[in-house]
Amino acid sequence: MALLQISEPGQSPDPHSHTPSRKLAAGIDLGTTHSLVAHVADGKPVLTAGEDGAPLLPSAVQYCADGTLTVGHQAQQNAISDPANTITSVKRLMGKSMADVDHSVHVTYQLITAESGMPLIRTCSGDVTPVEVSAEILKTLKRRSEAAQGGELQGVVITVPAYFDDAQRQATKDAARLAGLNVLRLLNEPTAAAVAYGLEKGSEGIHAIYDLGGGTFDISILRFSRGIFEVIATAGDTALGGDDFDRLIVDWISTQAGLAIATPSAALTAQLLSKARAAKEALSNQDAVTITIDLSNEKSDSTSWQGTLQRQTFDALIAPLIQRTLRACRRTLRDAAITTADVLEVVMVGGSTRVPRVRQMVGEFFAKQPMVDINPDQVVAIGAAIQADTLVGNKPDAEILLLDVTPLSLGLETMGGLVERLIPRNSTIPASRAQEFTTFKDGQTAMAIHVVQGERDLVDDCRSLARFELHNIPPMVAGAAKIRVTFQVDADGLLHVSAQEQTTGAYSAIDVKPSYGLAEAEIETMLRDSITYAEEDMESRRLKERQVDAQRLIEAIEAALDSDGDALLAPNERVVIESAIAALKQAISGDSHHAIKIATDTLEHDSADFAARRMDASIKKAMAGHTIDEFSNDSAAR
Amino acid sequence: MAAERVLTFNPASPFAMQSPLSANLTKNHFELFDIPITFDIDNEQLTARYRTLQRMFHPDRFAHTTPQEQRLSMQYSAQLNDAYQVLKKPLNRAEYLLTLYDVSNEGHTVTDGEFLMEQFELREQLMAIRKHDDGADQLVPFSTQIQQRLTTLMQQFSEQMRAKNLERAQLTLNRMQFVTRLLDEIEALEEELC
């Protein structure tokens, strides 16, 4: 990317100068160690810098006793003096139960187990969930982008590791909601990177995106062909990244210095981590680095320790971790049914790909020089910004389409603790699959459904996503009831489950809220309690949100009526929709968010059939079109 | 563990009335892409139409529209993905095609003694290769041989379907399933040996 701009807050052009039709959107890379926000201005992606002039925001949040908090560089600097209240690498905790958390990981803050089994972080201003901590990072980025763009964001694209499971994705979306962000899409990080590269280079063919960040690793194999990015296969490890390199250095220092690592003080741990990170970064440009550890505050014979870490030693330390990433690479190639020879280019993403040994081993594995043209820290945010600009509606004739996949298989528990797989891994999303189940006792009126995610055959070896029970099944003899359970994975990679009793048509649906996720009520409470919202009136905030949503709905439906109302609606049908619009307009001018909600629901309900007919009509038109030009765009290129 | 959620079947639920895309949801996979209902499809045509339709109806094209339209596009796009996966792979396509003709997939396998014997022998060969020192080298010609066997079966299936000989086609499909499973095992062994 030749001329990548970085805009300073407050330095943006006159906020009112942009055309009114242009909607403000942003792409957010919510990383383990760093986060970034970018947007598209004048057709070019721009990274937004913070007050310090740098686009990277350290993903660190410090909670202070007086209830205030700091986010970013300041918090990262305070991590050494106030390690217990400064939260770093919170992404590693997202969507996890306490049992999932890797306890070998050195954290400087205190984790406790909530009643729900979820981890909570104990700070001096109270216990906080990982979702809330992430929300604080998102709020900072939101403010940054809104200041730079001079207006409120209508929607954002937030990137997640491709290998994030349903619970981790849901947690990310919950954090966005807490931050007051409208999520247009959760986008997989390697796919975002491919967008940034693809638009720049326009090279058709198969690409491997090797994404090693601070705490997560992804490998995605994509085919870029005639404007469509198609992810063929993806694999990864959501608990492997540069943080682990740092920890290996910490362990090395501890051994060399003869420190008892069983119970290092929080301050020493923080110091070791910080020195280790600095050493790792230095070794990207030099062959050896001298490390000095201040032990004056520790129960130690000496007041400091000094040693030299050779790059060769470091390379040997991290080699097993790189091998782990290469095993995942091998698996994706197999899943994609290709060999390294089929891969045109290997794109390196994530700060940890700066480590020379990583580049070397990946290059040897794929037998080609990896591409590092775009700053590996920034490429994901750039891709996200480009996609956000498209999704928010600024580019109606966008020529690029992303087809992504679900990284892990989704299934149900069946008799004997076995998994019945409904949606296999690497299925293109959105995906939908249905399966019929029946009762096994006479008169059975309820059924338990256990949703799991993973590749193993036994339920116990997979991730439990959700359990729910179906009730009110009409009593029948065993085996007579036909319950059709449908799994639907949306374009964010989130699972929705619905069930229908086929003989009576009774229907039930659930958005899968992971077993280790936040309940709807908890999010509501957090929204109410959250710091920014406390500053303004919750009621008026909600009223405004509802008004904006309602206005958007009215505009969309009026536009639809203009173009298709005459063709697709009988006069009496049109009247029903028009009066629902009138009722909603009336409600908007009032001050009851409740009334707006009711009128919005009514309008959505009354126009549902119209929406379906429009979709049917445009599909019919598309099908008719191919007989004339035989889908010219796609077939002509052959 | 979070408390279990309880769902109740509710005939009056707003979801119960969902009737979007009724015309398209009842279409079979071939009709969805407007291609002839046959085993011998034009793969390039299928892919071209899949891509054109996704380009127009993928949820990304509807991210800024009403919630209803977003849901409709998600359902339709998911249906396109599912249908494309089935039609793209010959074995899945064959299985699906026979379900359209309402041919039961059960009760045929046991009678096919000769074929089962052959499969048994091929599997023994595979076991022998596994134990052999230069198994990896022997695996390549073996794999090619089985691949050719599958190709021949697919040709047979295609002819039988054209002749509308559904019973024979069903039998051939069963054989295709067997051979495909053997190929999966060969692939697994390939990984093991490499």
A391-430 pLDDT per residue, tens: 998 887 767 899 999 998 999 888 788 888 899 999 999 9
Residues of B in contact with A469 (CB under 8 A): 4-7
- pLDDT range class, residue A157, cuts 50, 70, 90: very high
| Contact criterion met (CB below 8 Å) for A260 and A335 | no
Name the residue in chain B with its Cα closest to that of A470: B7
Q: Which of A552, A612, A635 sits opposite B20 (nearest CB)?
A: A612
- Predicted local confidence at residue A416, as pLDDT: 81
Lowest mean pLDDT among A352-356, A386-390, B17-21: B17-21
**Active-site residue, A189 included:** yes
Residue of B6, B7, B74, B80 for testing the chain A interface, max A β-carbons within 10 Å:
B7
- pLDDT range class, residue A632, cuts 50, 70, 90: very low
- pLDDT range class, residue A17, cuts 50, 70, 90: very low
What are A551's two structure tokens? 């206005």
- Please give the helix or strand (H or E) that residue A560 lies within, else none: helix A538-560
Name the residue in chain A with its Cα closest to that of B188: A334
Beta bridge partners of A413: A419
DSSP label at A536? S
Does B11 sit within 8 Å of A506, measured CB to CB?
yes
Question: What average pLDDT does range A172-188 have in this prediction?
Answer: 93
Which of A132, A136, A174, A211 is flagged as catalytic?
Answer: A211
Burial of A189 (0-12, 13-18, 19+ CB in 10 A): buried
- Predicted local confidence at residue A537, as pLDDT: 62
**Active-site residue, A211 included:** yes
Does B2 sit within 8 Å of A516, measured CB to CB?
yes
Could you give the domains of chain B? 14-88 (1.10.287.110), 113-193 (1.20.1280.20)
Residues of A in contact with B51 (CB under 8 A): 226, 228, 634
Nearest to B192 by CA among B146, B144, B132: B132
Question: Which tens digits make up the pLDDT trace of A132-153?
Answer: 999 999 999 999 999 999 998 9
Percent of chain A with pLDDT over 70: 87
Q: Is the pLDDT of residue A261 over 80?
A: no
Which of A146, A165, A166, A189 is flagged as catalytic?
Answer: A189
Residues of A in contact with B191 (CB under 8 A): 334
Residues of B in contact with A340 (CB under 8 A): none
Burial of A520 (0-12, 13-18, 19+ CB in 10 A): exposed
- Predicted local confidence at residue A561, as pLDDT: 92
- pLDDT range class, residue A1, cuts 50, 70, 90: very low
Name the residue in chain B with its Cα closest to that of A503: B11
Question: Which tens digits make up the pLDDT trace of B123-133?
Answer: 888 888 878 77
Which of A82, A91, A218, A298 is flagged as catalytic?
Answer: A91
Residue type (1 letter), A613: R
Predicted complex ipTM? 0.82
Cα A606 to Cα A600: distance, rounded to the nearest angstrom: 10
Lowest mean pLDDT among A173-177, A406-410, A506-510, A616-620: A506-510
- Predicted local confidence at residue A185, as pLDDT: 95
Does B5 sit within 8 Å of A469, measured CB to CB?
yes
Highest mean pLDDT among A187-191, A223-227, A521-525: A187-191
Cα A593 to Cα A528: distance, rounded to the nearest angstrom: 16
Nearest to B63 by CA among A252, A334, A93, A183: A183
- Predicted local confidence at residue A262, as pLDDT: 55
What's the pTM?
Answer: 0.84
Question: What average pLDDT does range A30-38 have in this prediction?
Answer: 94
Phi/psi of residue A621, nearest 5 degrees: -65, -45
- Predicted local confidence at residue B137, as pLDDT: 78
- pLDDT range class, residue A57, cuts 50, 70, 90: very high
DSSP label at A294? E
Helix axes B43-57, B67-88, angle to 10 degrees: 170
List Cα–Cα distances, A384 to A28, A164, A197, in angstroms.
6, 17, 12
Nearest CA-CA distance, residue A496 and chain B, Å: 12
From chain B residues 43-62, the ones with a CB under 8 A of any chain A CB are: 44-45, 47-49, 51-60
Q: Which of B10, B47, B58 sits opposite A506 (nearest CB)?
A: B10
Q: What angle do CA A433, A434, A440 make, to 5 degrees?
A: 150
Q: Is the pLDDT of residue A9 over 70?
A: no
CA A620 centroid distance within chain? 35
- Predicted local confidence at residue A362, as pLDDT: 96
- Predicted local confidence at residue A634, as pLDDT: 44
- Predicted local confidence at residue A3, as pLDDT: 42
Q: Which residue has the higher pLDDT, A60 or A634?
A: A60
Q: Is the pLDDT of residue A201 over 90?
A: no
Name the residue in chain A with its Cα closest to that of B74: A430
Highest mean pLDDT among A106-110, A309-313, A548-552: A309-313
Q: What is the mean pLDDT of each run of 10 residues along chain B (194 residues)?
A: 47 41 67 90 92 92 86 91 93 90 59 78 84 77 89 94 88 89 84 70
Longest dimension (CA), chain A: 91
- pLDDT range class, residue A7, cuts 50, 70, 90: low
Question: DSSP assignment of B26-79, as one string?
Answer: TS-HHHHTT--SSSS--HHHHHHHHHHHHHHHSGGGGTTS-HHHHHHHHHHHHH
- Predicted local confidence at residue A529, as pLDDT: 63
- Predicted local confidence at residue A34, as pLDDT: 93
DSSP label at A428? B
Ranges of beta strands (E only) in A512-554 are: none
**Active-site residue, A536 included:** no
Residue type (1 letter), A173: K
Does B55 sit within 8 Å of A509, measured CB to CB?
no
Does A392 sit within 8 Å of B63, measured CB to CB?
yes
**Active-site residue, A591 included:** no
Question: What average pLDDT does range A36-62 have in this prediction?
Answer: 92
Could you give the domains of chain A? 2-14+21-241+318-402 (3.30.420.40), 242-317 (3.90.640.10), 406-517 (2.60.34.10), 533-623 (1.20.1270.10)
Cα A243 to Cα A89: distance, rounded to the nearest angstrom: 8
Question: Which tens digits make up the pLDDT trace of A284-329?
Answer: 999 999 999 888 777 666 788 888 999 999 999 999 999 999 999 9
Cα A34 to Cα A7: distance, rounded to the nearest angstrom: 18
Question: Which tens digits make up the pLDDT trace of A113-130?
Answer: 887 788 889 988 888 999
Question: Which tens digits make up the pLDDT trace of A480-509?
Answer: 888 888 888 999 999 888 887 777 766 666
